[in-house]
A and B are shown apart, each in its own frame.
Chain A
Amino acid sequence: MHDYDAVVIGAGLGGLSAAAILAKNGLKTLVCENTERVGGCCSSFEEGGYTFDIGASIVELAWVIDELFEKLGKKTSDYIDFIPIDPIYGFMTADGKRFSYPVDKDATRDVIAKFSREDAEAWDKFSKQGSEAINFAFGKVMTKPMMTFTDSLKLSLENPKLMKYLKYMVLNFESTLCSFFSSDKVRASMSLQSYFIGLPPALCPGYIAFLAYSEHEGIFYPRGGMIEIPKGIARVFEEYGGEISFKTRVDKVLVENGKAIGVKLSDGREIRSRIVVSNINAKTLYLEKIGRENLPGWAVKAIESYEVSIPAPMIMLGLDTAPELDAHHTFCYTTLDEMNRVWFEDYLSKKIPSRGFMLISWPTHADPSLAPEGHHCLNLVTFAPYELSEGDWDSIKEQYLEMQLDSMEKMFGLKLKDHITTAKVSTPKDFEKALLHPRGAVYGLQNDIVATAFFRPRMRSRAVKNLYLTGASTHFGGGVAPTIGSGIAASGLILEDL
């Protein structure tokens, strides 16, 4: 006897999206969430009158969200109020210069022309290919399962244009950018995106370079904070009769004769279901929640072989004044070589990068209601190892905050210290504990080409029957749109199977 048709582990975007579609199709669905809020990495919390985002700070490729709401028979705007963001990025350079890239492609071309006329022309070519890659290639693959070589071959034969982008699977991010642009400044201004999938430009696949274009298709911030996206999806889910149980930790996935039959909670309760959907990291799912004893040897080898991405410790600041910034996102300008150096010399040696390498997110620039009147919120997204060669994260929190603030002041002239009313540091250990990300890897499994598409953990598990995966661990990878896409794709498979 089943208690539910589907139990979903984790109320992240992938899990909620799948759950909402299943509920709409009449399946009795329960979402078990470890924390007290929805969203996983795309969430927000309130402290001292400020609303801080936990991880994700912007939405691009918003059409995926529209596709989800369409599938749910709803209109996105009835549930989420998106504010368009412009400019996309501000840049602070060490010589005190500032510049920004607006959403408008021609206006961005004018900014690039100030650095290099040749690169301004290259931008047109990059935009054209980027537009095709994003709208055509990403559009075709992001919300579809990609579990086998045949899936990929079929998709390629149906859409021969996809073949054009194969070379960007073979080239790395750095080579792709360098094949378009010659100015170091322009290359660097489009390189941070490689770290959005948790890899440096030298190790990141080339097609990710087109993210630097995708932002020019429009980026958005949800009014009320990033949590408003999962909240909107959760509302639809509940309207269709779905249930969310907060502070409900799943200890084990119950497996009988190689089939998932439900979950065991940390309070000892067992919930039986026809299928189990996981929205947690695949390593945590297979190695901890299912356990090696329930897996064939090849599955253990496979899951152990995946590397996780670089952790992104976050510093959340409440300020009593507006910061001297120009955009929702500001990148503390770092050269391409330096970004690679951070990985190969600092990260791999378990050292905290010695210079300010970070993305600053300023949500109150778009939505002042996130802070008391006249006050502002800033999120500093930094990159650092999980294990440290000296000290441990719990004992260096204060020191880390000081170090990053000093670095920003000295290198970029951004003075914040005198205006801080509240400060919080989320370390890799905090991310691991709260969001079950092994080694605090908020970007999930590394997303290189040997861990992409049919080499990424499948949405329909082959190791355990009746088990489905959504979220950053499966195809298409991390990010707001890709994880929602995974929920759409996985729910399609489930509905086919049941």
Chain B
Amino acid sequence: MFKVRKIAGIFVLVALLAAYMRSSESTKRYVKHLLKQVPYLPYRYFI
């Protein structure tokens, strides 16, 4: 079961990465801008 999950996880990551690589410069900037803030979301959720 763990192995299946691991493979599925890797597949999703590869798919996301591929989608990112194929996206426009504008989308890449947007994604980077949002990802930069992701580590703070748990704190933001509670403030």
Looking at A158-166, A222-230, A448-456, the stretch in contact with chain B turns out to be A448-456
Give the chain B neighbours of A202 by CB distance below 8 A.
26, 29-30
The CA-CA distance from A286 to B46 in the complex, in Å, is 14
Give the chain A neighbours of B26 by CB distance below 8 A.
172, 174-175, 201-202, 340
A151 CB to closest chain B CB (Å) equals: 12
- Known contacts A299-B47, A302-B46; is-contact A451 B37 (Cβ 8 Å): yes
Q: Does A24 contact B (CB under 8 A)?
A: no
Give the chain A neighbours of B37 by CB distance below 8 A.
305, 307, 448, 450-451
B26 CB to closest chain A CB (Å) equals: 5
Whether B40 pairs with A302 at a CB distance below 8 angstroms is yes
Bitwise interface map of A from 53 to 72 toward B, beta carbon under 8 Å scored 1, else 0: 00000000000000000000
Give the residue among A306, A455, A461, A462 with the most B Cβ atoms within 10 A: A455
Q: Does A303 contact B (CB under 8 A)?
A: yes
- Known contacts A449-B34, A450-B37; is-contact A303 B47 (Cβ 8 Å): yes
Total A-B pairs, Cβ < 8 A: 65
Whether B41 pairs with A450 at a CB distance below 8 angstroms is yes
The CA-CA distance from A305 to B34 in the complex, in Å, is 12
Give the chain B neighbours of A172 by CB distance below 8 A.
26-27, 30
Q: Number of B residues whose C-beta is below 8 Å from A?
A: 16
- The residues in A between 410 and 459 inclusive whose CB is less than 8 angstroms from any CB of B are 448-451, 454-458
Whether A458 pairs with B38 at a CB distance below 8 angstroms is no
Give the chain A neighbours of B44 by CB distance below 8 A.
302, 305-306, 450-451, 455-456
Q: Which residue of B lies closest to A306 (CB)?
A: B44
Whether B29 pairs with A305 at a CB distance below 8 angstroms is no
Whether B41 pairs with A455 at a CB distance below 8 angstroms is yes
B27 CB to closest chain A CB (Å) equals: 6
Give the chain B neighbours of A114 by CB distance below 8 A.
none
Give the chain B neighbours of A149 by CB distance below 8 A.
45
Q: Does A111 contact B (CB under 8 A)?
A: no
Q: Which residue of B lies closest to A286 (CB)?
A: B47
Give the chain A neighbours of B27 by CB distance below 8 A.
172, 175
Q: Which residue of B lies closest to A297 (CB)?
A: B43
A301 CB to closest chain B CB (Å) equals: 5
Q: Number of A residues whose C-beta is below 8 Å from B?
A: 30
The CA-CA distance from A344 to B28 in the complex, in Å, is 13
Give the chain A neighbours of B29 by CB distance below 8 A.
202-203, 340, 344
A306 CB to closest chain B CB (Å) equals: 8
The CA-CA distance from A302 to B44 in the complex, in Å, is 5
B6 CB to closest chain A CB (Å) equals: 27
Q: Does B22 contact A (CB under 8 A)?
A: no
Give the chain A neighbours of B30 by CB distance below 8 A.
172, 174-175, 202-203
The CA-CA distance from A463 to B40 in the complex, in Å, is 16
Bitwise interface map of B from 17 to 33 toward A, beta carbon under 8 Å scored 1, else 0: 00000001011011001
Q: Which residue of A lies closest to B43 (CB)?
A: A302
Q: Which residue of A lies closest to B47 (CB)?
A: A302
The CA-CA distance from A289 to B41 in the complex, in Å, is 23
- Known contacts A175-B27, A202-B26, A449-B34; is-contact A462 B47 (Cβ 8 Å): yes
The CA-CA distance from A462 to B47 in the complex, in Å, is 6
The CA-CA distance from A449 to B33 in the complex, in Å, is 10
The CA-CA distance from A175 to B40 in the complex, in Å, is 25
Give the chain B neighbours of A203 by CB distance below 8 A.
29-30, 33
The CA-CA distance from A449 to B29 in the complex, in Å, is 14
Give the chain A neighbours of B38 by CB distance below 8 A.
450
Give the chain A neighbours of B33 by CB distance below 8 A.
203, 448
Q: Sorted from nearest, which 10 A-B pairs have the closest CB atoms?
A: A302-B43, A305-B40, A302-B47, A172-B30, A450-B37, A455-B44, A301-B43, A202-B26, A174-B26, A202-B29
30 CB-based A-B contacts, threshold 8 Å? A172-B26, A172-B27, A172-B30, A174-B30, A175-B24, A202-B26, A202-B29, A298-B43, A298-B47, A299-B46, A299-B47, A302-B40, A302-B43, A302-B46, A305-B37, A305-B44, A306-B44, A344-B29, A448-B37, A449-B34, A450-B37, A450-B41, A450-B44, A451-B37, A451-B44, A454-B45, A455-B41, A455-B44, A456-B44, A458-B47
A residues sitting closer than 8 Å to B (CB atoms) are 149, 172, 174-175, 201-203, 286, 298-299, 301-303, 305-307, 340, 344, 448-451, 454-458, 461-463
B residues sitting closer than 8 Å to A (CB atoms) are 24, 26-27, 29-30, 33-34, 37-38, 40-41, 43-47
**Other 18 A-B pairs with CB < 8 A, given A172-B26, A450-B41, A455-B45:** A175-B24, A201-B26, A202-B29, A203-B29, A298-B43, A299-B43, A299-B47, A302-B40, A302-B44, A302-B47, A305-B44, A448-B33, A450-B34, A450-B38, A454-B45, A458-B47, A461-B47, A463-B46
